[in-house]
A and B are shown apart, each in its own frame.
Chain A
Amino acid sequence: MKKYIFKRVLTSFFTLLAILLVLFILMKLMPGSPFNDEKLTVDQKEALYAKYGLDQPIVTQFFKYVGGMLRGDLGVSYNISKNTPISQLIQSRLPISIRIGGCAVGIGALVGLILGLIAALKHDTIWDSLATVISVIGVSVPSYVFALALSYTLGFKLGWFPQLFSKNDIFGSSVLPSLSLSMFTMASIARFTRSEMLEVLGSDYMLLAESKGISGSALIIRHALRNALIPIITVLAPLVVDLMTGSLVVEKIFAIPGVGSLLVNAIQSNDYNVVISLSFIYSAMYILIMLVVDILYGIIDPRIRLAKKGD
Chain B
Amino acid sequence: MKKRNTVLAVVLAAAMMVGLVGCGGSGNNNNSQGSSGSGENNGNGGQVVSAGGSDLNVMLETPVESLDPQQATDGTSFEVIACFTDGLMQMDAHGTAVNALAESYEISEDGKTYTFHIRQDANWSNGTPVTAADFVFAWQRAVDPAVASEYSYMLSDIGQVVNAEAIIAGEKDKSELGVTAVDEKTLEVQLNVPVSYFLSLMYFPTYYPVNEEFFNSCGDVFATSPETVLSNGAFILDSYEPAATAFHLTKNPDYYDAARVQLPGLNYQVIQDSQQALMSYQTGELDTTLVNGEQVDQVKDDPEFTTIGAGYLWYVSPNMGTVPELANENIRMAMTMAIDRDAITNDVLKDGSKATYTAVPMDFAAGPDGSDYAGDQSRYSDVCAYDTAQAAEYWATGLEELGVSTLSFEMVVDADDAPQKVAQVLKEQWETTLPGLTVTLKVEPKKQRVEDLQNGNFQLGLTRWGPDYADPMTYLGMWITDNNNNYGLWSNAEYDAIIAECTTGALCTDPEGRWARLYDAEKLVMDEAVIYPLYTQCNAEMMSSSVTGVEFHPVALNRVYKSAVKAK
Chain A residues near B (Cβ < 8 Å)? 31-33, 35-44, 47-48, 50-51, 77, 79-85, 88-89, 92, 99, 102-103, 105-107, 109-110, 148, 151-152, 155-156, 159, 163-172, 174, 178, 221-222, 226, 229, 252-257, 261-262, 265, 268-270, 296, 299-300, 302
Identify the 9 closest CB pairs spanning chains A and B, nearest first.
Answer: A106-B19, A32-B447, A171-B30, A168-B37, A102-B22, A31-B448, A82-B66, A81-B242, A81-B243
Looking at the complex, which one of A37, A163, A165, A170 makes contact with B245 (CB distance below 8 Å)? A165
Chain B residues near A (Cβ < 8 Å)? 4-5, 7-8, 10-12, 15-16, 18-20, 22-23, 25-27, 29-31, 33-34, 37-38, 40-41, 62-66, 68, 71-73, 145-146, 148, 150-153, 168-169, 220-221, 224, 241-246, 269-273, 275-276, 279-280, 282-283, 285, 444-448, 450-451, 453-454, 463, 465, 468, 484-485
Measured between alpha carbons, how far is A229 from B168 in the docked complex, in Å?
Answer: 65
* B558 to A: closest C-beta gap in Å: 16
CB-based contact B283/A163 at 8 Å = yes
Looking at the complex, which one of A33, A164, A252 makes contact with B447 (CB distance below 8 Å)? A33
Looking at the complex, which one of B7, B63, B447 makes contact with A300 (CB distance below 8 Å)? B7
Interface centre among B31, B71, B245, B450 (most CB of A within 10 A): B245
B154, closest chain A residue (CB): A39
CB-based contact B73/A39 at 8 Å = yes
CB-based contact B484/A156 at 8 Å = no
CB-based contact B37/A167 at 8 Å = yes
Contacts of B282 in A (CB 8 A): 156
CB-based contact A36/B447 at 8 Å = yes
Contacts A38-B465, A47-B145 given; does A148 touch B37 at CB 8 Å? no
* B48 to A: closest C-beta gap in Å: 16
B68, closest chain A residue (CB): A82
CB-based contact B15/A39 at 8 Å = no
CB-based contact A253/B273 at 8 Å = yes
A253, closest chain B residue (CB): B273
* A218 to B: closest C-beta gap in Å: 9
Since A32-B451, A226-B4 are in contact, a sample of 18 more A-B pairs with Cβ atoms closer than 8 Å, ordered by chain A residue number, is: A31-B445, A37-B150, A37-B450, A38-B454, A38-B485, A40-B150, A50-B148, A85-B221, A88-B242, A106-B19, A151-B279, A163-B283, A164-B276, A168-B41, A169-B34, A178-B23, A253-B273, A270-B447
Chain B contact residues: helix, strand, loop or mixed: helix
Interface centre among A40, A50, A85 (most CB of B within 10 A): A40
Measured between alpha carbons, how far is A83 from B141 in the docked complex, in Å?
Answer: 15
* A168 to B: closest C-beta gap in Å: 3
Looking at the complex, which one of A102, A167, A221, A265 makes contact with B246 (CB distance below 8 Å)? A167
Looking at the complex, which one of B37, B280, B484 makes contact with A164 (CB distance below 8 Å)? B280
Measured between alpha carbons, how far is A169 from B29 in the docked complex, in Å?
Answer: 10
Measured between alpha carbons, how far is A79 from B320 in the docked complex, in Å?
Answer: 33
